Amino acid sequence: MAKLTQSIEDLIQSGSAGKTPSNGPDATVQEKFEEKMKEVRLRELEDETKRQAAASGIQYVSLKGFPINPEAISQIPKEQAEELKTVCFLYSGSEFRLGAVNPDDPKIKELVFQIAERLQGNGGVYKISEESLRVAIKMYDVLPKIKLIVKGVKVTDDELNRFKSELKTFADIQRVLNNASVTDIMTIVMAAAIQFNTSDVHVEAEEHRVGISFRVDGVLQDVAELPHDFWKRIVSRIKLISGLKINITDRPQDGRFTIFLKDGDTDVRVSTIPTNWGESVVMRILRPGSIAVEFASLGLRPVAEKKLVHEIDKPHGMIITTGPTGSGKTTTLYAVLRRLNSPDVKIITLEDPIEYKLEGVNQSQIDHSKQYTFASGLRSVLRQDPDIVMVGEIRDLETAETSINAALTGHLMLSTLHTNDAAGALPRFISMGVKPFLLAPALNAIIGQRLTRKIHQDCREEIVLDAETAERVKKILLDVPPASGETVAPPTEWKFYNGKGCEACNHSGYKGRVGIYEILLMTDEIRSALSEKIDEYQVRQLAKTQGMTTMQQDGMLKCLDGLTTVDEVLRVAGEGT
């Protein structure tokens, strides 16, 4: 220390003797002096940090010049590192070490516990100075190829291309996972999900294994399994990147993360619930491209499309879509909004959650924790003077009545309702408490829909239906009402197809999906029949006499067009009544 003090005094003396201007040739003397003083202060602070660590019995480390590798630094997200003033500076598989400015902070202890749970390893905490923290934080910006980061799985295009060459079928997923390290499992699973155009990834803890399933074209398929010993590490990694609490396993949680790719980011919505053997995790992949369906590409037959266009082009009224979860209701509503979206129209949506971004549309997120519900949000939205409003779902009387009043006062309202078909929407509204005399003039049209898998055209082949199935199909198609405008060929001309199965469609015979629809128009006859006692059967029969083609009939007509199979239509829509 004496030597350092002497060198400073020498600088002071030389600076005083020269008295050079600050911008002269000897200006560096002043700069050297200030630099040396800074070094002294930092060294004193470092020494003080070391003394504090010794006094409290905590290990100390200086991170200046310490070789921190990408795997270590990526164990803690940068935002969290800055907030808690901590970094992971050492990682060797199951061992890790954190450096913290305040190692006694309970949040630091909780973080150590979470990382240990995720890695199934041991960790330790060292005290570091503010300067060490500053140096270490810089590593986030300069260290390349950090594979996994907070709320995002960094799947590079190079990795995807490598996996594409290895993942030709679902069976290949198991083989690749068998040869992968635990830290690569998430990357492989998400890369495979993207490769096979998966909508949902299911990871479930079972008694003796961890099951991994993909939902492809609406059908859930087992693709791989892992030893149950891997469960804690897998679920901890999923929770970490999704912003969920790792130590909470006894109640549901919802989170989100992003897959970053060159051709556009893909959001993933994560849901967990407790189960007998651990938890069930479902990751829904929200591809912008999958929802970016133009109205003309929905799969509506020309007659049905013409009817629906006439209704949505009206300046006010309600358009309702119905069907179970996963039937494509959101896709249909977004396609309608795209068709209606123009610079001279103000569109506002209320969604829970906002799954996809629509350019030129004001989208608002429901937040129940702040009493921002569909009902309260809709009242606020109407004060914004919109032309078109989309409400994610009508669940209660208050939302229904507010929507109906808006439709009656010059707004075009779009929303969804959870009923089996279009005919069920009217009794559902009435059961909520909506008055029929208000409902009748407010509604324009009700859409019932399902999604069926499309035949893979490259392996399509003609088939002959068995006698029983042929009779069921005949009953459905010959019941198409003459008033519908559809033309049905005579049975002798009917041809049906399926997919033989090939490597390109994973031997399923299907690739992609197409919607089957029924459009219930609110004719004067239906409006006059509305009462508090009307039931679903009465509505359906009345709609059919007014020319409504049912979902089952629409599906069978698409079978004749070679788009889907009879088995698919019967699977998703049944035979109807």
For residue range 428-479, list pLDDT tens digits in order.
999 999 999 999 999 999 999 999 999 999 999 999 999 999 999 999 999 9
Q: Are 254 and 367 in contact (CB under 8 A)?
A: no
Give pLDDT, residue 119. Answer: 67
How many CB atoms are closer than 10 A to CB 228?
15
Reported as a pLDDT band with limits 50, 70 and 90, residue 26 is low
| pLDDT above 70 (res 157) | no
61 in a structural domain: no
| End-to-end CA separation in angstroms for the chain | 94
Give pLDDT, residue 409. Answer: 92
Backbone angles phi, psi at 271, to 5 degrees: -130, 135
22 in a structural domain: no
Q: Are residues 256 and 332 in the same domain?
A: no
Domain count for the chain: 4
Closest CA to 363 of 327, 383, 331, 337: 337
User: Residue 278: which CATH number?
Assistant: 3.30.450.90
> Which run of H or E residues covers position 519?
strand 510-521
Mean pLDDT of 513-520: 96
64 in a structural domain: no
Q: Are residues 226 and 258 in the same domain?
A: yes
253 in a structural domain: yes
303 in a structural domain: yes
The region, left, alpha or beta by phi > 0 then psi within -120 to 50, assigned to residue 512 is left
The residue out of 249, 269, 286 marking a domain boundary is: 286
3-state class (DSSP) for residue 294: coil
For residue range 522-574, list pLDDT tens digits in order.
999 999 999 988 999 999 999 999 999 999 999 999 999 999 999 999 999 98
Cis peptide, bond prior to residue 353, ω within 30 of zero? yes
Q: Are residues 419 and 332 in the same domain?
A: yes
Which residues make Cβ contacts (< 8 Å) with residue 436, sequence separation at least 6? Answer: 430, 530, 531, 532, 534
| pLDDT above 60 (res 23) | no
65 in a structural domain: no
268 class by beta-carbon count within 10 Å (0-12 exposed, 13-18 middle, 19+ buried):
buried
Please state, in angstroms and rounded to a whole number, the distance separating the CA atoms of residues 364 and 354.
Answer: 7
| pLDDT above 60 (res 392) | yes
Q: Are residues 297 and 376 in the same domain?
A: yes
Q: Are residues 542 and 406 in the same domain?
A: yes
Closest CA to 392 of 427, 424, 425, 418: 418
Q: Are residues 250 and 384 in the same domain?
A: no
The residue out of 286, 308, 336 marking a domain boundary is: 286
3-state class (DSSP) for residue 568: helix
Look at the chain and count its residues.
577
Please state, in angstroms and rounded to a whole number, the distance separating the CA atoms of residues 475 and 472.
Answer: 5
Please state, in angstroms and rounded to a whole number, the distance separating the CA atoms of residues 171 and 228.
Answer: 20
Please state, in angstroms and rounded to a whole number, the distance separating the CA atoms of residues 167 and 174.
Answer: 10
Reported as a pLDDT band with limits 50, 70 and 90, residue 101 is very high
Please state, in angstroms and rounded to a whole number, the distance separating the CA atoms of residues 21 and 18.
Answer: 9
- Read off the pTM: 0.70
For residue range 163-181, list pLDDT tens digits in order.
767 888 888 899 989 888 7
* Domain housing 312: 290-573
Mean pLDDT of 117-140: 84
Q: Are 349 and 392 in contact (CB under 8 A)?
A: yes
3-state class (DSSP) for residue 460: strand
Please state, in angstroms and rounded to a whole number, the distance separating the CA atoms of residues 559 and 494.
Answer: 9
Sign of CA dihedral 486, 490, 491, 495: negative
Mean pLDDT of 281-304: 85
| pLDDT above 70 (res 183) | no
Q: Are residues 120 and 253 in the same domain?
A: no
Q: Are residues 255 and 328 in the same domain?
A: no
Q: Are residues 465 and 377 in the same domain?
A: yes
Buried b / exposed e over 538-567, threshold 16 CB at 10 Å, is bbbebbbebbbbbbbbbbbbbbbebbbbbb
Mind giving me the DSSP string for 214-235?
EEETTEEEEEEEEEGGGHHHHH
Q: Are residues 119 and 179 in the same domain?
A: no
**Beta bridge partners of residue 202, listed in sequence order:** 213, 282
321 in a structural domain: yes
Give pLDDT, residue 12. Answer: 42
Q: How far out from the chain centre does Cα 368 lie? A: 19
Closest CA to 137 of 216, 77, 49: 77
The residue out of 128, 146, 164 marking a domain boundary is: 146
Bridging pattern class, strands 347-351 and 362-365: parallel
* Alpha helices, H only, 120-230: 130-137, 139-142, 157-166, 170-178, 185-195
For residue range 252-269, list pLDDT tens digits in order.
998 888 787 777 778 888
Q: If you count DSSP H runs as helices and E runs as strands, how many of each does the chain have, helices first?
A: 23, 20
Please state, in angstroms and rounded to a whole number, the distance separating the CA atoms of residues 331 and 136.
Answer: 45
User: Residue 371: which CATH number?
Assistant: 3.40.50.300
| pLDDT above 90 (res 520) | yes
Name the residue with tokens 């209660």: 396
User: Residue 123: which CATH number?
Assistant: 3.30.300
Mean pLDDT of 321-344: 92
Furthest-apart CA pair in the chain: how many Å?
A: 112
**For the chain, percent of residues with pLDDT exceeding 90:** 53
More confident residue, 184 or 234: 234
> Which run of H or E residues covers position 429?
helix 425-432
Q: Are residues 340 and 236 in the same domain?
A: no
| pLDDT above 80 (res 388) | yes
Give pLDDT, residue 316. Answer: 95
23 in a structural domain: no
Q: Which has the minimum average pLDDT: 118-122, 123-127, 279-283? A: 118-122
Reported as a pLDDT band with limits 50, 70 and 90, residue 24 is low
For residue range 218-252, list pLDDT tens digits in order.
899 999 999 998 888 888 888 877 878 777 888 99
| pLDDT above 80 (res 147) | no
Q: Are residues 104 and 162 in the same domain?
A: no
